Each structure stands twice: as structure tokens, then as C-alpha cells.
Structure 1
């Protein structure tokens, strides 16, 4: 589904976009990050915990190991600084994981169970793509919450990353 070059790009993009968002959130008043808002995840912090939990779940699937989560809405890190550090470690894990992959390993089909217990299977590359896409989707939720503050959200779009950080990919 995805090749090694794309996997490297996606992992680097996720790390960069998350860093940009967390840097921006750190500059907001602390109460805004944890303030209860409309939505399933209830706050910016809740939404970011959801992203982290889902990252951990897919990490476990990629490692072919069980995970400890009973729901995707758990909040393992109610403290922003702790969550930020945990997400940085998680993103570093994905960077390292991708560095150890090959075209063949990215195409390998891995069986897993969703949190609901339903069984499924996906390629390792598709799992990485889901992790990156899922995080981008929920960064959008957090960005929408900025407008309730009101505050200017960070720009973390892929074209910005490609232009500012990874320009070699803008030509390929």
C-alpha cells in the first residue's frame, strides 16, 4: 500500500505536526487546554489523550502484542506536560520503527483485534497510514477548539511541512 520512502515521510510529518501543535498549546493559558468543551473527547487534552491511546493501540498491533486499553477514550495522561512527553516518545518510536522497515515488511499483513474485540487484518504500512491520518483528523478537532478561546491555531498542513522541513519530497 505504501512504500518505504512514503512511510519515512509520514512518520516525520506526524512528529513535526504534533510538535507544532503541542508547542502552540503550551503557549495557551493552561486552563484552556483542559477546559471542557463540546465533543466526544471533552477537551483539547482529552482529544490529545485519545490520539495517544490510539497510537499506543496501533503500536501494539505492529509489535504483535496485546495492549492494555479497554476504550479509546481513556485519559492516561491528565497532565499536559506528561502527555506531551509521552507523545514525543511515541512519535520517536514510530520514526525508529519505520527506519527498521523494508518494502516487504510494510506489505506484511498483521492480524489484530479492535478494542471492540472484532478481528481484522491490515498491512503494516496501512496501519502506519491510519495512525498518521487519525492524528491529523483529531488535530483538526483541537484546531477548531482554538476558535472558542479565541486564539490563532498553528498551521500543520502537509504542504507546509514539505515546503519548510522536507523540501526534497516537494519535487519527487
Structure 2
């Protein structure tokens, strides 16, 4: 599998996992769980902001963020729509990025003012893994609420979108 194909698969998985998590959060009874729901939305907003910061770096454009989260917390519905649009942007970006540009280094400035430089491939790997890290944290919050978090694994995703993989191993 090429690096481009792997990244495309990881970002399809990321979009799938984000959608499942937002759907699960929407089904939670908010009564008595406002603080936990707010924390989950703050974490998801942080993921979204970081996604947007790195999308701007990849596109060579400025971004409006001075921190890795916003002062105001968006509604869950607003954030769901924004994250879905961000996930679509990354999928389109990867689909149209020539493979030879994956190793191209992108200089940028972190929100703390420190300089950074990563390859496009490293940026994309960071965005994919960063979201997974925080979805795991939100899964822990769901467990504290006695709610089973969505099964957020690459293997679950791959076998759900390509069920023939279950029989290919025999």
C-alpha cells in the first residue's frame, strides 16, 4: 500500500470515527451530565482547531488561532458540521496531493510562537493520530457516564466498510 493510499484510508477512518462519536454524544441524556458533555465538546473543539491549524499550514495560508482551543465553546451541532467539513477537506486534499509532495517540508509557526517544520506526510500523520488520542479521552468520559463509547478502532472501520476482509483471512 502506498503512503497516499494509507493516508486516504486513515482519514476515511478518522471521518468515520468522528461521525460515530458525534452520533453517540447526541444520544446521551444531557440531564445531570452537563459538565462531562461540556468537557467532551471542549476536547472535540480542540481537535477541530488543531485540524484547522494544520490544514492552513498545508495550504500555505494563515489561520486565525492563537491557541489550540477557542474561548467560546461551539454547540455540539455546530462543531459536528464543522468537523465533518474539515474531514471532507482532508480527504480531498489527500486525494489530490501528488505522492511526491508528501516528503515536502512545510515550515510553520506553532500557536506558542515557536517555529516548526514537518513534511506534509508527518503533518497528516499527526492530524490522524492526534484526533484518535482525544477520541480515546472522550471514550473514557463516556465510560464514566456508564455509556459504552463507540468502537473506535481501525480494524472495526476496515471490516465494516469491507466486510469481505472477514473471510479473506481463511
Do they fold alike, i.e. is TM over 0.5?
A: yes
CA spacing shift, 1:80–1:157, aligned 2, 3 Å: same
Q: In the alignment, is residue 82 of structure 1 matched against residue 78 of structure 2?
A: yes
How far apart, CA to CA, are the structure 2 residues paired with 1:31 and 1:131? Answer: 33
Q: Which residue of 2 aligns with 1:110?
A: 106
Which segments of 5 or more consecutive residues in structure 1 lack a partner in the other structure? none
Contact 1:36–1:43 (Cα < 8 Å) also in 2 = yes
Task: Figure out how many residues of one structure are paired with residues of the other and give that number.
Answer: 166
How far apart, CA to CA, are the structure 2 residues paired with 1:29 and 1:144? Answer: 17
Match among 46, 55, 58 for residue 62 of structure 1: 58
Contact 1:56–1:90 (Cα < 8 Å) also in 2 = yes
Match among 61, 68, 73 for residue 69 of structure 2: 73
How far apart, CA to CA, are the structure 1 residues paired with 2:41 and 2:95? Answer: 30
Q: Aligned-residue CA RMSD in angstroms?
A: 2.2
CA spacing shift, 1:149–1:114, aligned 2, 3 Å: same
Matching of residues 4-15 of structure 1 within 5 Å: 4-15=4-15
Greater C-alpha Rg: 2
* Higher-helix-fraction structure: 2
Contact 1:12–1:95 (Cα < 8 Å) also in 2 = yes
TM-score (norm 1): 0.88
Which segments of 5 or more consecutive residues in structure 2 lack a partner in the other structure? none
How far apart, CA to CA, are the structure 2 residues paired with 1:114 and 1:94? Answer: 20
